[in-house]
Amino acid sequence: MASEYLPISELIKSRRSIRKFTSEPIDDAMIDQILTAGIWAPSGKNNQPWKFAVIKSEALRKLLAGLTHYTKIIENAPCCIAVFLDHNLSYDRTKDCQAIGACIQNMLLVIHDMGLGAVWLGEILRNKEKVAELLNPESSGLNAPSNLELMAVVALGHPAEKGGKGKRKALDEVMFLRR
Amino acid sequence: MASEYLPISELIKSRRSIRKFTSEPIDDAMIDQILTAGIWAPSGKNNQPWKFAVIKSEALRKLLAGLTHYTKIIENAPCCIAVFLDHNLSYDRTKDCQAIGACIQNMLLVIHDMGLGAVWLGEILRNKEKVAELLNPESSGLNAPSNLELMAVVALGHPAEKGGKGKRKALDEVMFLRR
């Protein structure tokens, strides 16, 4: 299934949101490769404003799943990566959110290239404070949870569905000037 | 120079900001391929909140260059892509900024894969209203300029420098939980 060496344009266009996964686990080496792709995104002043929590434990996933309408996706995904904005590192919210989007996109592309599937979940942000509490990083000594704002959860695993067709507007609808 | 079929993880890690370009122009087919990669980014509710202005004209680039400290970069880049958030399509600023970051990252990766170079410029946002006026899309009938908010300018061309070393924190500095 892995699409190794697929040209990048094809990789980008063939990626789809995958919401159903097999029970096959994701090993830590894969997760490290995915996160490494994420952190090589550019950021304004190279401030690298992202922080990550990797959730594989079934018990913790069940608690996380209770904080979104998309319960089943998180319950059935063997791995979730919660992506946070670290306010201690933030310098411009607009630019920091863009950088985090670039980081997530890198991860999605590498996940797809590995033959895995993922979905970028945003609805859970309505419970972002509760997610930050649940994944409380205080014990790690890295940060007080109040400094971390949830930006997205990426649920991933081995795909058990093909994904949708993918629809985009035509270029001439989105490019208003070429001079 | 084109790094076709470079594995995606390598492509991501080898990308650097390029700020000096040769005078060789960028043809429209390349620009279309770059923008196509951009619009295949995911966005919340697939709202595709981005709009683009492609600036190749020397006269227009000089005016744009006057709106940033990074005058020389824009003056000497054969092409600039200004990326806007379309407020008519926006539904959640945080998520829309993330989607636009994902879109820009797709473009940067394809640019790098083509053997071209680019830099993501954010400082120019301090003059975002003036940029929107300069690139006024009213004549295109697409949008009133007030609906468009500048998110970034990507300056690109054939590289005339190698780019920096690229530094990132270690994974264990950015991952606060793995359970």
* B59 and chain A in contact, CB less than 8 A: no
Whether residue A125 is predicted with pLDDT greater than 70 in this model: the reply is: yes
pLDDT at B149 (0 to 100): 96
Tell me how close the Cα of A52 comes to any Cα of chain B, in angstroms. 5
On whether residue A168 sits in a domain, the answer given is no
pLDDT tens-digit map of B102-140? 999 999 999 999 999 999 999 999 999 999 999 986 655
Selected residue with higher pLDDT from A137 and A22: A22
On whether residue A177 sits in a domain, the answer given is no
B174 and A50 within 8 Å at the Cβ level: the answer is yes
pLDDT at B5 (0 to 100): 67
- Dist CA B58 CA A140 (whole Å): 53
Specify the pTM: 0.95
Q: What is the CATH number of the domain that holds B102?
A: 3.40.109.10
pLDDT at A137 (0 to 100): 67
Count: domains in chain B = 1
On whether residue B93 sits in a domain, the answer given is yes
On whether residue B167 sits in a domain, the answer given is no
Interface of B with A in 118-177 (CB under 8 A): 120, 122, 125, 135, 137, 140, 142-143, 148, 151-152, 166-169, 171, 173-177
On whether residue B5 sits in a domain, the answer given is no
CA distances from A44 to A41, A52, B133 (A): 10, 19, 24
On whether residue A7 sits in a domain, the answer given is no
Give residue for tokens 């001079």: A179
pLDDT at A1 (0 to 100): 40
- Dist CA A58 CA A79 (whole Å): 9
**Average pLDDT value for residue range A73-77:** 98
pLDDT at B93 (0 to 100): 98
- Dist CA B158 CA B164 (whole Å): 16
Mean pLDDT of chain A: 93
- Which among B133, B103, B135 is positioned nearest to B120, based on CA atoms? B103
On whether residue A12 sits in a domain, the answer given is no
Q: Which domain holds residue A115?
A: 17-155
Whether residue A143 is predicted with pLDDT greater than 80 in this model: the reply is: no
The residue of B105, B113, B128, B134 whose CB has the most chain A CBs within 10 angstroms, and thus the best one to mutate to test that interface, is B105
Tell me how close the Cα of A129 comes to any Cα of chain B, in angstroms. 15
**Average pLDDT value for residue range A110-127:** 98
* A59 and chain B in contact, CB less than 8 A: no
Whether residue A27 is predicted with pLDDT greater than 70 in this model: the reply is: yes
Q: Residue B32: which residues within 8 A CB-CB, separation 6 or more?
A: A171
Answer positive or negative: Cα dihedral of A108, A110, A115, A116: negative
Which stretches in chain B have pLDDT values below 50?
A: 1-3, 141
A179 and B39 within 8 Å at the Cβ level: the answer is no
On whether residue A150 sits in a domain, the answer given is yes
pLDDT at A97 (0 to 100): 98
**Average pLDDT value for residue range A26-43:** 98
